Amino acid sequence: MIDLSSSHLARLVDDLGDIPIVTDPKIVRRRSRDFFWYSPVLNELLNDKSADLVVSPRNEADVIRVAAVCARHRVPITVRAGGTGNYGQAVPLRGGVLLD
């Protein structure tokens, strides 16, 4: 996991501006998962993984801004899309931003 302190997270959120963001830990954890838990092996490896926040870009310009802000802050991005897979592809392994 990256060390995303509360002050670092606050600066990241400020830089994202008006792009919709979710920081509620319960919602972030739920959206940081796909159906990997079907597999006992993947469940053991991925169960404790979660993003630090969820960002929901509204358009292409928002996606570009999110990518630029994350690059500037050196924060990983995981693309979730529908989150319907069952192989752990949508699970943020090192925290950071979940692009949903």
pLDDT by residue (tens digit) across 42-55? 889 888 999 999 99
Q: Which residues, 6 or more positions from 9, have their beta carbon under 8 angstroms from its beta carbon?
A: 23, 52, 53
Enumerate the domain spans of the chain: 6-99
CATH for 6-99 (3.30.450.40, 1.10.1580.10, 3.40.50.10860, 3.30.43.10): 3.30.43.10
* Stated pTM of the model: 0.85
pLDDT at 27 over 60: yes
The fraction of the chain above a pLDDT of 90, given in percent, is 57
Return the CA Rg of the chain: 13
